[in-house]
Structure 1
């Protein structure tokens, strides 16, 4: 039996202002938090499409759950920190010219944006990957000692 669209991993960009919720807030919160407060209908539809084990970029301008209604009757997903990019990527400056179809550039006000797999891979490459991705970086002697 082949893979269905529902089985395929999706990629997302979750955008927030650092004063509202920063990467440091996410990491210090045990790495897991509820991502809520999304009001835009299109962004909410994207959030509803998020599934367990999808990957997200945390961008400034889920534990065991998918989209759910929280106690206030609003929609939310739980997000978990899995690793920090090894290098900060300026999406508009470094990526802008090569990925004009990326939703972030078409609708920059959306707080939840799907990321096509080719764009995801390009951003990961530009950022040197992320801690926890299984890729060893640094001095080869040090890497050999920790295998």
Structure 2
């Protein structure tokens, strides 16, 4: 199993909308590195859901329920792919970007070092620490 972090602006597509919808096609990714990460996601991988821009924080946990396939928002461009995610549970306590930056054990996390990347891998130790910080 692998661990990932996906970012979304809460005003565009937030955790509450994800919960209400119950399943999401993670589409619209137009960065090659993020696209490559989508291609690496496997059924059952765990995904941290991060609200970016306003009140940046990890707010929930999701799982990959369908592996990559062509992005329907780019029907004429086969380079782009999507995965499907389902919410697992909300964090009791959102883990803010400030908290992540202050934690020495998270000093090499992609969220800090590649802050513009919207889909990124997370090491097992980083994933487990963030879960603990989120009071899961």
Give the TM interval when normalised to the shorter protein: 0.7 to 0.9
Q: Which residue of 2 aligns with 1:125?
A: 132
2:33 counterpart of 1:27: no
User: Of the two, which has the highest radius of gyration?
Assistant: 1
In structure 2, C-alpha distance between the alignment counterparts of 1:36 and 1:70, rounded to whole Å? 6
In structure 1, C-alpha distance between the alignment counterparts of 2:91 and 2:11, rounded to whole Å? 20
Q: Which residue of 1 aligns with 2:55?
A: none
Distance apart, 1:53 and its partner CA: 0.3
Unaligned runs of 5+ in 2: 53-63
Unaligned runs of 5+ in 1: 1-8, 130-147
| 1:68-93 CA-partner distances (Å, limit 9, x unpaired) | 11332431000000111111111x21
TM-score by length of 2: 0.82
Conserved 8 A contact 2:3-2:121:
yes
TM-score by length of 1: 0.76
In structure 1, C-alpha distance between the alignment counterparts of 2:111 and 2:99, rounded to whole Å? 13
Corresponding residue pairs, total: 118
What is the SS of the residue equivalent to 1:36? coil
Q: In structure 2, do the counterparts of structure 1 residues 95 and 70 end up closer, same or farther at CA, with 3 Å as the change threshold? A: closer
2:32 counterpart of 1:41: yes
Report which of the two has the higher share of strand: 2
Distance apart, 1:104 and its partner CA: 1.0
After the TM superposition, list the runs of 4 or more consecutive aligned residues in structure 1 that deviate by more than 3 angstroms.
none
Q: 1:114 aligns with which of 112, 121, 127?
A: 121
